[in-house]
Amino acid sequence: MNFFDHQRAARSSTLKLVLLFIVAVVAMVAFIDAAAAVAMTYQRADPSAVFGVVVGVTAVTLLIIAGGMITKTVALRQGGAAVAASVGAVQVDPTSSDPQLRRLVNIVEEMSLASGVPAPRLFVLAGEPGINAFAAGFTPADAAITVTSGALAQLNRDELQGVIAHEFSHILNGDMRLNIRLIGLLNGILLIGLTGMRVLQFGGGRGSSSKNGAPIWMVALAMMVLGFIGVFFANIIKAAVSRQREWLADASAVQFTRQTAGLVGALKKIAGVASGSALRDARSATEVSHMLFGEGRRSFRAWYATHPPLEDRIKALDPSFDPREIADLKQRYAQRLPDGIAEDAMAGFAPVGRAAGVRAGAEPVAAPTGPRGAGRRSINPEQVADRAGTLTQADLLHGAALHATLPPEARRLATQPSTAPAAIIALLLARSGDPQQARQLASVAQRLGPAEAQSAAALAHTMAALPAELRLPLVDLAVPQLAAHPPAYRDALLAVLNELAVADGSVSMFEYGVTRLVWSYLQDAANPHRRSKVGNGSLDQVRPTVTTLLATLAVAGAGDQETARRAYDGALRRLYPDAAPAQPRDMTWQQALDQGWAGLDGLAPKAKQALVEAMVVAVTADGTVTTAEAEILRAACALMHVPLPALLA
């Protein structure tokens, strides 16, 4: 199942859950109405009075359910950070020098650079000795990964990478939106039971009655009983959905890291340590139980568990596993808890501060460099589409190499809210000494203030020296920090970036990619609930925009007009067999694309997959792709919420 299949499956799962929720609500309303009707009949009320009470009870019941669902959903609609904050997690400073946090940040940033998605914000559940983690959010741009302090302390680097790869699979596969929907739906049903209980406690004594003579306590009792029964069955549905996704996430984590030892080691430690994966905070464990890496609480029935049994998960990854090993692990860890940092040192990993993940004595793999045309490699459209939303071991090595190659100062500035805007601005500045830079800095000072202009000017030389393949990865690291600023500042920043891009009278593909990627990421962070919906549009509805996009990519990826024409015709005919041959036009392509990205992003998964394949045809008329062309393709895919890993190693 590739990325686009996962999107279709996620949309189907969401539809099924909504339908089940509707059935549950209708059943609950019907039973509560029946209780009200029986109460009224018992009071010998006339039929018109019975009907009026039933209508009133129906309205109140629906309002309570809708209110509980909407209230919770609105509280969490700001995305992953809101979910993490709701369970008391503390945000991690990406520039922290703490060895455990530094290792976590390095692993996540490497995986982000490898997968082509913004670096998720990181949170820690302090004081939780259990080994656990979860990813939350609506889109990769607003995603947050939360880990327990027990996971940081007890897992070694391979094991922590396996857990993070498991969580990244939830981000890439679109599981997070479904998880947040489950929280909202469950809260709506739960509120019915709580309301009935409160009415019985404070206003529904057996002597109380409504003005129509119907005993309130009968309706309240029905609400309480049915509400908690509804929660019971809703939790069963939630657990069943969660168990299926956990199997898939384990398989994806192994696919990402190309080794099972890390994930198996983490699961074995959960089985061996006394605290396991349980969370001390019962409320948090219940609310996010379906998101967690391991069981957040003890389940009294297997069908109520949100995760497959630990032994089954280990056995699926390591067929040679003997369950009797668990007893030995429990005995060993009862005497001394595992120490992940110490295990890293014994395994030969370099201390934190060196290139993350590099064993002592080894040299980090160099990131690809070279002029345009260097590093060519043959690819085909189907391969690229299959790579979307996934990772390979080569991608992870490439991500680690990019991370190690980033100048430490540039990386530090990009990962702090106070300096990230200046880092992005500096990417678009003309070289020092160029009169155009002075005009650009004046524009920055006018919109964001002199201090921001000075900071950007100080970074101009550092950013100009960055190799081309490091510029967009730097944007991926900086975007979460940009989203931390107020809306007015973000609007001013976007205006500045647009002005810098057109300062010389033209817009390069790189300038266009940076400005639109920042715009898209900030839109996602500002309204993740709306921006995360899976589309259902057709290619015929967006044909003018598709034509412009393919023409632009064909011109950018070709060395002469004839090659561009062939690339354009081949890409267009792949989508529209009836298309007439035409010469690609690149005039006003920016305006045409700006008006069409929403339509392209709203395409149905199957149509989006076909478009990605056509885009590959447009940039690979000669059967190859350069590093620069690969980055253009990745930027265009990112604007359609299709995460594409590096195509070149």
Active-site amino acid positions: 167
C-alpha to C-alpha distances, 567 to 244, 603, 609, 647, nearest whole angstrom: 42, 23, 18, 19
Q: For residue 359, which phi and psi values (nearest 5 degrees)?
A: -70, 150
What's the number of CA atoms in the CB half-sphere (13 Å) around residue 546? Answer: 28
Integer Cα distance of 495 and 515 in angstroms? 9
User: What is the spatial distance between Cα 326 and Cα 577, in angstroms, rounded to a whole number?
Assistant: 60
Contact 607, 538 (CB under 8 A): yes
DSSP secondary structure letter of residue 619? H
Which residues have a Cβ under 8 Å from the Cβ of 336 and sit 6 or more positions away?
none
Q: Cα 94 from chain centroid?
A: 18
Cα distances (Å, whole numbers) of residue 487 to 20, 483, 517, 527:
38, 8, 17, 11
What is the spatial order of strands in the sheet that 121-125 belongs to? 90-91, 121-125, 144-148, 133-136
For the CA atoms of 95, 97, 99, 104, the dihedral, rounded to the nearest 10 degrees, stands at: 0
Asked whether the beta carbons of 454 and 95 are under 8 A apart, the reply is: no
Q: Note the helical H segments in 288-407.
A: 310-317, 325-335, 340-347, 381-387, 393-405
Angle, CA of 40, 42 and 47, to the nearest 5°: 45
For the chain, state the CA radius of gyration.
28
Beta bridge partners of 352: 354
